[in-house]
Structure 1
Amino acid sequence: MIPISELLLEYICPIAGGMTATVMFAAPLPDAYRAVRDQGHLGSLNPLPWAFMLGNCYGWVLYGVIQRNFFVYCANVPGLLFAIWLNLQAVKLQYKSYPCQKYSPISHAENEKSSPQIEDGEAMASVETKREASPAPLRMTQDIWILFMVLVWLLLTSVLGFQEETISPDTQQLLIGSIVNLNLVIFYAAPLSTIYTVLHTQSSASIHVPTMLTNTANGVFWFAYGLAVQDWFIAIPNGLGAALGATQMVLRVLFPAQKVQANEEVSGVADANVQNQDDHL
């Protein structure tokens, strides 16, 4: 019979961690769906973390295959699928909204002044025509970030595949674990900036409670599992994530969320909302 402690740490914790990870990865889906269906543009959504989500989940899937770890593999497959969908929507919305910046509508009065009178038999070209304007430079687009992440993992996968006989399993674990944990640094930058916002504004309005609880629970489960199987590539980053989540819980208690009372505070809350989108990733 399996001891209770082993059952809890080596089976229950990774299963619970996989469930919370799926919820965490799925958090941006409703906002992205609304942006596609209703808005036609990204708005305040920051799609950059979605590219790193793609690399992060692919890396952990590869890590699960190399280590023959079914729990790690299954926990990140849904996130990989979610990341692919999110990045497709981000690329579509970026290139859909950009042409709208190139043209600005002109009024009927401006059109009559700048063009000769049109005969009745011709098409009504005077009906709000458009003139070309100088658009703002298109920032580094999502497809470039996606290609970068895919290239990194394609190179690593190729090296491991073609040099399988010369690279030891420990070296494979080191390479994949190091790069995938580098991806996690990007994800942990969002909670760090949220903590800074709370300390700066003395208000925890920027902390999204459901996301905070999900992220913290996910970190705790995988940290416990990493310790149980003595896999430090799992234990250390997730322990850091759990610690950041616990820090946000303490800040939530010390600095209750405050309502906006002055116009000058509105911009601060808006920035907090944008950061909250990052926390969803």
Structure 2
Amino acid sequence: MVSQLVNTIRNVVGITGNVIALFLFLSPVPTFIRIWKKGSVEQFSPVPYLATLVNCIVWVIYGLPMVHPNSVLVITINAAGTAIEVVFLTLFLIFCHDKKKRLKVLLIIMVELIFMAALATLILTVLHTTQRRSIIVGIIAILFNVMMYAAPLSVMKLVITTKSVEYMPFFLSLASFANGVAWTTYAFLPFDPFIAVPNGVGTIFSLAQLLLYATYYKSTKRIIAARKEAKMEMHLSLSELAVANGDVDPKKTAGATP
């Protein structure tokens, strides 16, 4: 009776984790809408999406019945995450105007795919028990999961340097925190160290991002406002210069009717 109750709670938490993780994977949508409108990736980093892609693939392998039985909820969300990250990285490559950066991202994607294919092949052919397969893939999954959560550290450094959270999306940090809490809880029903360790670490990393966001939110608003004011002043200066040179009718510039 107790084990059935625990299993039911585990499934509920797992489904909740799937929903939260889906929001996590979709949280960069506003960022990519901005990239689409501006036609440029600006200073946004591809690292979080590259890390999430390889993380999702390795967890799909971990959740396979021949690797770690009874892990359907692990497969479903990570398969969805893989598809979403492929879309994001495709958009990043389209709107990245730096050829060297674009080539670097492509090479990293190729290396990730080759590594995952080799891992799956070796695990399924060399190891012959689910226990051994779970241990090997689980250890690798921990490494990549921690990498996914730690990927924004480079962005956190930029935040501290510039005192601006403009390039650290809030919803991505919030979703990462909620996702870490949900999957850490799931990992204790029953205890699965391969899920508990990386998501526990991820919860701490995500909390650090949220604290940074709270710290630099006001200064970000001031920086953005100052930038807009500087642009307006530059526009007015150019207009005045054009009038002085006789390139623009001063009456039209002032909005007067002839």
Query: What TM-score, normalized by structure 2, do the two folds share?
Result: 0.71
Deviation at 1:49, TM superposition (A): 2.7
Q: Which one of 79, 82, 86 corresponds to residue 80 of structure 1?
A: 82
Alpha-carbon contact 1:32-1:86 (below 8 Å) kept: yes
1:59 aligned onto 2:52: no
> More relative contact order in 1 or in 2 (CA 8 Å, sep 6+)?
1
- The letter for the 1-side match of 2:181 is V
SS at match of 1:42: coil
Structure 1 residue aligned with 2:219: 259
Indicate how the Cα distance of structure 1 residues 31 and 196 shifts in structure 2: closer, same or farther if over 3 A, else same. closer
Identity %: 24
SS at match of 2:217: coil
Indicate how the Cα distance of structure 1 residues 223 and 138 shifts in structure 2: closer, same or farther if over 3 A, else same. same
Deviation at 1:226, TM superposition (A): 0.7
Indicate how the Cα distance of structure 1 residues 89 and 182 shifts in structure 2: closer, same or farther if over 3 A, else same. same
- The letter for the 1-side match of 2:86 is I
Q: Deviations over 1:176-224 (max 9, x none)?
A: 1222222223222245456666777788777654333321111111101
SS at match of 2:73: helix
Supply the distance in 1 between the matched residues of 2:192 and 2:11 (Cα, whole angstroms). 15
Q: Which one of 160, 172, 190 corresponds to residue 123 of structure 2?
A: 160
Indicate how the Cα distance of structure 1 residues 198 and 8 shifts in structure 2: closer, same or farther if over 3 A, else same. farther
Q: Deviations over 1:67-120 (max 9, x none)?
A: 1301111121111110111222233334xx35xxxxxxxxxxxxxxxxxxxxxx
Structure 2 residue aligned with 1:177: 138
SS at match of 2:44: coil
Alignment of 1:117-132 (within 5 A): none
Structure 2 residue aligned with 1:149: 112
SS at match of 2:219: coil
Alpha-carbon contact 2:47-2:151 (below 8 Å) kept: no
Structure 1 residue aligned with 2:193: 232
Indicate how the Cα distance of structure 1 residues 232 and 262 shifts in structure 2: closer, same or farther if over 3 A, else same. closer
1:217 aligned onto 2:199: no
Q: Structure 1: 5+ residue runs without aligned partners?
A: 99-136, 267-281
Indicate how the Cα distance of structure 1 residues 31 and 210 shifts in structure 2: closer, same or farther if over 3 A, else same. closer
Supply the distance in 2 between the matched residues of 1:39 and 1:155 (Cα, whole angstroms). 38
Which structure carries more helix by proportion?
A: 2
Q: Deviations over 1:1-47 (max 9, x none)?
A: 667962564122111111111111112234335534x3333222222
- The letter for the 2-side match of 1:138 is K
Q: Structure 2: 5+ residue runs without aligned partners?
A: 228-258
SS at match of 1:138: helix
Indicate how the Cα distance of structure 1 residues 142 and 194 shifts in structure 2: closer, same or farther if over 3 A, else same. closer
